[in-house]
């Protein structure tokens, strides 16, 4: 039986991307602890950036899948904890540096007009060998996504206003509209900066190189 190390689990989790920021969950500081039992059962303590995150379950599923990729791993259990509360201080130095570098460019596109914008999904969906999904823009830059983001991207058909997209996302996630409005705006901004959504009449040059 392979001996599984906490470091091997952490290294595998570095492939699991945060759905809202183009950083992995280790860089984001969302992993609070990894415990490997003698029988190679793995217990992971993990948090989220916000308690109302509609992609909570999907991220847990993604993290479980990457932990199980480590040879010899038996069962994987993920406990979501809220204490201590996440803050940017929990990010790794590498994560902070990447975010800082992105920050100098991420705010350059004109803000999305909530009332008039008609976001249009662009790019293509690629399924990886391991079953994970990647949205790729015209420059072949990949953005690892989950099913909730794919469904949202597909719903951006260039004919729906942001208010309609919020309604659809609320229905898809089973949450109240007021719980997802902020998430949808962040998601639109992230996808747009990655060259995966175009807003008619506004320049949309991709300015973030997402990890393939």
Residue 171 near residue 106, CB atoms below 8 Å: no
Check residues 172 and 128 and name the one with the higher pLDDT: 172
What is the per-residue pLDDT for 142? 76
| Model confidence band, residue 47 (pLDDT cutoffs 50, 70, 90) | very high
List CB contacts of 24: < 8 A, sequence separation 6 or more. 13, 14, 15, 16, 17, 18, 211
- 173 within domain boundaries: yes
Is there a single domain that holds both residue 195 and residue 116?
yes
What is the per-residue pLDDT for 66? 93
Q: Span 74-79, mean pLDDT?
A: 95
Highest mean pLDDT: which of 18-22, 29-33, 160-164, 165-169?
Answer: 29-33
- 95 within domain boundaries: no
Number of domains in the chain: 2
* Residue 50: Cβ within 10 Å count: 13
What is the per-residue pLDDT for 69? 93
* Average model confidence (pLDDT) across the chain: 82
Report which of 83, 95, 82, 85 is spatially closest to residue 18, judged by C-alpha positions: 95
Is there a single domain that holds both residue 65 and residue 124?
no
CATH for 152 = 1.10.10
Q: Span 123-136, mean pLDDT?
A: 80
- 153 within domain boundaries: yes
- 205 within domain boundaries: no
What is the per-residue pLDDT for 182? 80
Q: End of a domain among 57, 90, 123?
A: 90
User: What's the Cα-to-Cα distance from 107 to each of 19, 72, 111, 160, 163, rounded to whole Å?
Assistant: 18, 44, 8, 24, 22
Is 30's pLDDT higher than 90? yes
- 96 within domain boundaries: no
Q: End of a domain among 36, 56, 90?
A: 90
Is there a single domain that holds both residue 70 and residue 138?
no
Least confident of 32-36, 77-81, 93-97, 130-134: 130-134
- 129 within domain boundaries: yes
Give CA–CA dist 26/32, Å, rounded. 9
- 127 within domain boundaries: yes
Is there a single domain that holds both residue 69 and residue 116?
no
Its domain, for residue 148, covers: 112-199
| Model confidence band, residue 209 (pLDDT cutoffs 50, 70, 90) | very low
pTM of the entire structure?
Answer: 0.54
- 131 within domain boundaries: yes
Is there a single domain that holds both residue 79 and residue 133?
no
Reduce the DSSP state of residue 72 to 3 states and report it. coil
Highest mean pLDDT: which of 55-64, 109-118, 127-136, 156-165?
Answer: 156-165
CATH for 67 = 3.30.300.130
Is there a single domain that holds both residue 86 and residue 119?
no
């Amino acid at each position: 039986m392979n001996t599984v190390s906490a470091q091997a689990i952490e290294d595998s989790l570095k492939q699991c991307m945060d759905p809202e920021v183009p950083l992995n969950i280790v860089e984001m500081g969302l992993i609070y602890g990894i415990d490997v039992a003698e029988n190679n059962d793995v217990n992971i303590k993990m948090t989220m950036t916000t308690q109302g995150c509609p992609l909570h379950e999907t991220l847990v599923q993604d993290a479980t899948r990457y932990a199980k990729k480590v040879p010899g791993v038996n069962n994987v259990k993920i406990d979501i904890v809220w204490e201590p509360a996440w803050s940017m201080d929990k990010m790794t130095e590498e994560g902070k540096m990447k975010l800082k570098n992105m920050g100098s460019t991420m705010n350059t596109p004109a803000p999305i007009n909530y009332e008039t914008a008609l976001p249009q999904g662009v790019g293509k969906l690629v399924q990886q060998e391991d079953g994970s999904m990647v949205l790729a823009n015209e420059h072949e830059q990949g953005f690892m996504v989950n099913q909730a983001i794919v469904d949202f991207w597909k719903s951006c058909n260039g004919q729906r206003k942001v208010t309609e997209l919020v309604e659809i996302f609320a229905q898809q996630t089973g949450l109240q509209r007021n719980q997802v409005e902020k998430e949808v705006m962040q998601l639109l901004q992230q996808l747009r900066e990655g060259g995966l959504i175009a807003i008619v009449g506004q320049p949309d040059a991709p300015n973030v190189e997402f990890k393939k």
